[in-house]
Amino acid sequence: MKTLHSVEETTGLIQNGKTLLLAGDEALLAALPKGNWIGGTIPYFMGDEGGIVTKDKIHVKELEEFNKLQSIKTYGAEELSSIPEGYAENGVSFIIVPAFSDSHIGFAKNAMSYDGIFDSPLVGWVSGVHLDEFEEGKVPKVYNGLTGETNENKAVVMHTSLPDDTYANIEIINIFSDEGATDVITFPTDGNIVSDCMVNGETSSFADYLKKTNHNEQLPLIGDFMSARLNVSIQAIDAEKKEVVLYAPVFSNIEYRLSKPVADYASSFADRLESVMSLETGFTCNCVLNFLYGNLEGKKTGKMTGPMTFGEIAYMLLNQTLVYCEYLKK
């Protein structure tokens, strides 16, 4: 099934009343009419013809006819805890959050504490821009197609309902583990740009520590969030400034460890993906780092198509994972 569309083709789907999850360059998303859709900026995709980087096409996920739109809402950082109030009794909610915004950081830090957050499936992704465009100051955005609203700092959520005999199931593919890692790393402040840290209680430069341990920056930090192990991906290490830029914030009240080495990133990811490539999914997203380090450009991943993101959401924020939602019969 075709997943990458032109503005004209996407416009036609919107005007025909389709309910859509969209991803693409901001110039394309801004050109679309109002309708039943939400979207986020990104130029990296896993399309039906394989992995691709493009600003000329929009990735379109059309919701199934049995999945009925209930509402589309935007949430500022201080409003995110009210997301569960929009859940259908039996449904699924799709969320897009702009990278490095207040809502991104707030969701990363607090989602697990939101009352009712796990009562219904919540799945989605973090919008971004081409990695080369950060130096130009380009900012990730999200779109509420129903109102025409564009946001750099708020999340957008589409709440839907499912038939009584159907339910949504969210699964995660993660090739990383901190099993056997002995160093415990903590940080004095919250944020995604870090300099100092504590390693086993002793103060250190985090950049120096990564250099000293010869850590492969393709491998994430793994935080212990109430026994849930969550990846925090490394974006860049500035040895001169002694700063490390991360794709998600770290938090001062969380203990972290470095991921153990992966023998062959591309092969390890491909092996884990093999068992699910033929699944019919209601939604799929994959981390842009899996795209880059897994050498996915030009390669197909079966029916697992979707945006390659700056973060994945399966109730909470994830990094360097593939997340998918499937519909099952009760």
Q: Over the stretch 276-295, which tens digit does the pLDDT of each residue have?
A: 777 788 899 999 999 999 88
Domain boundaries defined on the chain: 4-173+267-329, 185-258
Q: Over the stretch 60-70, which tens digit does the pLDDT of each residue have?
A: 999 999 999 99
**187 vs 184: CA distance, rounded Å:** 10
pLDDT value of position 225: 80
Percent of the chain residues topping a pLDDT of 90: 77
What are the helix (H) ranges across the chain? 7-15, 26-29, 102-110, 206-212, 265-274, 288-293
Indicate if the pLDDT at residue 186 is higher than 90.
Answer: yes
In this structure, how many other beta carbons lie within 10 angstroms of the beta carbon of residue 302? 14
Indicate if the pLDDT at residue 86 is higher than 80.
Answer: yes
Average pLDDT, the chain: 93
User: Would you call 62 exposed, middle or buried from its count of C-beta atoms within 10 A (0-12, 13-18, 19+)?
Assistant: middle
Q: Looking at the whole model, is its pTM more than 0.95?
A: no
Question: How would residue 20 be classed by pLDDT, with cut points 50, 70 and 90?
Answer: very high
